């Protein structure tokens, strides 16, 4: 069967094996070659191509395209109802025209040779390094990832957080970015971003300074890293982190590809945190992708007079992002809050009521007793025990939560 598919694709098995050698850890070199080919013939986020690969497999889908199968013949192979069939046939016909036009021009071997010259790796869904969280993108899942740097960094994305934001960053934004990255690194979180100037670059830089893993998702081929101002940063990332792209070397970054790149930033991480974004910022596009696949989003508030934070405020107001103002908010966002989960099991009823009765600022003993329905001595006893556990503290103005 494999020999037949090689013949149908007009490929020499030995040549494909030689080209794939050391570029991928997958034993299925024909599958990897087909995945690389799909990276060249379709645009990022092409859900029609993704649907075909999901239903037929990357190799068989490519065989159908190369061998000239009609849209109707392809639809007969797919598990779809008659209504969907009628609506999909025209779209699939147009897609086949594009894919076949590119397939005639695509030089997959050249792209693989460029990757080898760069010292990179090809990662496909059959690789042990494949980040399975990308599969949440459904038919929008990339066919392959072209990677440059420490390939083991892909394993770190299982507990990563994306930090994104404006290209024009204020002093406030710079400090907020460093604070957020520091808080995440303390929780052993890798940092994912897009390598752009501004918030993205600073997030990568500070992550490297702190000795953490960082992954930069590129919109173009790995031989066309953008922006040029960040070439030195990209070289630093390659040493201990990773640069990845879903498009092959030789492919230029475009506005459309930047927008589609954002879905990978969202999907690779547990959550996305936005720092300084205008209402029309491309960063908002990343948030939409995160919302679509159910990833939590946090946003840093700024001055009401700052247009750089207007997008963050809109996201919070619309309920599309959680307000982030403290390290505890970050823990809430990524589902690692243990403020109540750990101690609550050992608290008495008095202690629980006393703790719940303390507001967001400072509360007097009389307020705590009244709100909690406790006698004064009950409140005092409960607060003393809570203080020993480090849950509350006595200030000059009253009691406050720690």
**Domain endpoint, select from 333, 363, 391:** 333
Residue 28 corresponds to which tokens in the numbers above? 């299925």
As a whole-number percent, the residues of the chain with pLDDT over 70 amount to 94
Do 58 and 162 share a domain, yes or no? no
- Per the structure, the complete domain to which residue 378 belongs is given by 343-401
Q: How many domains does the chain have?
A: 3
Q: Residue range 174-203: average pLDDT?
A: 96
Query: CA nearest 181: which of 172, 192, 197?
Result: 192
**Domain endpoint, select from 333, 356, 381:** 333
CATH number of the domain enclosing 259: 3.40.50.450
User: Which residues face 395 on adjacent strands?
Assistant: 398
For the chain, the farthest-separated pair of C-alpha atoms sits apart, in whole angstroms, at 87
Answer yes or no: is 301 within a domain: yes
Do 82 and 150 share a domain, yes or no? no
Answer yes or no: is 318 within a domain: yes
Do 277 and 325 share a domain, yes or no? yes
Q: Residue range 36-45: average pLDDT?
A: 95
Answer yes or no: is 131 within a domain: no
Do 216 and 311 share a domain, yes or no? yes
Answer yes or no: is 284 within a domain: yes
pLDDT of residue 267: 97
At 306-361, the pLDDT tens digits run 999 999 999 999 999 999 998 889 988 998 865 444 444 467 788 888 998 887 77
pLDDT of residue 388: 85
Of 2-6, 271-275, 366-370, which range is least confident?
2-6
Residue listed under structure tokens 């809050």: 337
Do 350 and 379 share a domain, yes or no? yes
Do 313 and 191 share a domain, yes or no? yes
User: Which residues face 217 on adjacent strands?
Assistant: 244
Burial class (CB in 10 A: 0-12, 13-18, 19+), 104: exposed
At 251-299, the pLDDT tens digits run 999 999 999 999 999 999 999 999 999 988 889 999 999 999 999 999 9
Residue 9: count other Cβ atoms within 10 Å of its Cβ. 19
CATH number of the domain enclosing 356: 1.10.10.10
* Separation between Cα atoms, residue 64 and residue 73, nearest integer Å: 9
Answer yes or no: is 311 within a domain: yes
Q: Residue range 24-47: average pLDDT?
A: 93
Q: How far is CA 273 from the centre of its chain?
A: 11
* Residue 67 clears pLDDT 90, i.e. is over it: no
Quickly list DSSP for 148-206: EE-TTHHHHGGGEEEEEE-SS--HHHHHHHHHHHHHHHHTT-EEEE---TTHHHHHHHH
Do 245 and 375 share a domain, yes or no? no
Do 95 and 202 share a domain, yes or no? no
Answer yes or no: is 124 within a domain: no
Answer yes or no: is 134 within a domain: no
Which of the 8 DSSP states describes residue 248?
A: -
Do 11 and 85 share a domain, yes or no? yes
The dihedral over CA atoms of 166, 170, 172, 175, expressed in degrees to the nearest 10, equals: 70
Do 211 and 285 share a domain, yes or no? yes
* Separation between Cα atoms, residue 191 and residue 188, nearest integer Å: 10
Query: CA nearest 145: which of 118, 115, 103?
Result: 115
pLDDT range class, residue 220, cuts 50, 70, 90: very high
pLDDT range class, residue 9, cuts 50, 70, 90: confident
At 101-143, the pLDDT tens digits run 998 888 999 999 999 999 999 999 999 999 999 999 999 999 9
Query: Nearest 5°: phi and psi at 250?
Result: 100, -15
**Inter-residue contact 214 to 192 (CB < 8 Å):** yes
Q: What is the mean pLDDT of the chain?
A: 90
Answer yes or no: is 241 within a domain: yes
Query: 3-state DSSP call for residue 326?
Result: coil
Do 166 and 260 share a domain, yes or no? yes
Do 199 and 241 share a domain, yes or no? yes
pLDDT of residue 81: 61
Q: Residue range 364-390: average pLDDT?
A: 89
Of 22-26, 111-115, 161-165, 298-302, which range is least confident?
22-26
User: Which residues face 122 on adjacent strands?
Assistant: 146
pLDDT of residue 282: 85
**Inter-residue contact 34 to 47 (CB < 8 Å):** no
pLDDT of residue 359: 75
Which of the 8 DSSP states describes residue 253?
A: P
**Domain endpoint, select from 333, 364, 390:** 333
């Amino acid at each position: 069967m494999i020999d037949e598919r090689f013949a149908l694709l007009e490929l020499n098995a030995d040549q494909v094996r030689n080209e794939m050698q050391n570029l991928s850890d997958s034993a299925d070199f024909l599958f990897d070659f087909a995945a690389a080919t799909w990276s060249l013939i379709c645009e990022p986020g092409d859900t029609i191509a993704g649907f075909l690969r999901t239903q037929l497999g990357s190799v068989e889908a490519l065989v159908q395209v190369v061998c000239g199968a009609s849209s109707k013949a392809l639809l007969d192979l797919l598990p779809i109802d008659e209504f969907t069939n009628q609506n999909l046939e025209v779209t699939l016909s147009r897609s086949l025209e594009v894919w076949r036009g590119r397939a005639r021009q695509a030089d997959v071997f050249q792209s693989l040779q460029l990757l080898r010259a760069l010292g990179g790796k090809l990662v496909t869904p059959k690789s042990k390094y494949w980040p399975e969280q990308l599969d949440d993108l459904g038919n929008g899942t990339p066919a392959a990832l072209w990677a440059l740097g420490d390939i083991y960094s892909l394993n770190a994305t299982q507990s990563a957080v994306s930090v994104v934001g404006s290209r024009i960053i204020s002093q406030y934004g710079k400090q907020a970015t460093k604070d957020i990255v520091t808080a995440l690194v303390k929780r052993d979180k890798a940092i994912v971003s897009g390598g752009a100037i501004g918030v993205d670059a600073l997030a990568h830089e500070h992550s490297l300074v702190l000795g953490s893993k960082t992954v930069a998702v590129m919109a173009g081929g790995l031989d066309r890293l953008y922006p040029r101002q960040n070439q030195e940063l990209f070289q630093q990332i390659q040493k201990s982190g990773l640069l990845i792209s879903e498009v092959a070397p030789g492919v230029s970054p475009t506005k459309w590809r930047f927008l589609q790149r954002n879905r990978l930033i969202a999907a690779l991480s547990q959550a996305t945190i936005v720092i300084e974004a205008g209402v029309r910022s491309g960063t908002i596009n990343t948030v939409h992708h995160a919302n679509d696949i159910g990833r939590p989003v946090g946003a840093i508030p700024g001055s009401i007079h700052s247009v750089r934070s207007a997008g963050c405020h809109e996201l919070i107001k619309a309920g599309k992002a959680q307000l982030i103002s403290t390290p505890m908010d970050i823990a809430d966002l990524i589902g690692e809050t243990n403020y109540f989960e750990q101690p609550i099991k050992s608290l008495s009823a008095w202690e629980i009521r006393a703790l719940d009765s303390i507001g967001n600022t400072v509360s007097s003993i009389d307020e705590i007793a009244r709100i909690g329905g406790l006698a004064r001595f009950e409140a005092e006893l409960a607060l003393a025990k809570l203080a020993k556990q480090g849950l509350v503290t006595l200030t000059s103005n009253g009691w406050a939560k720690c």
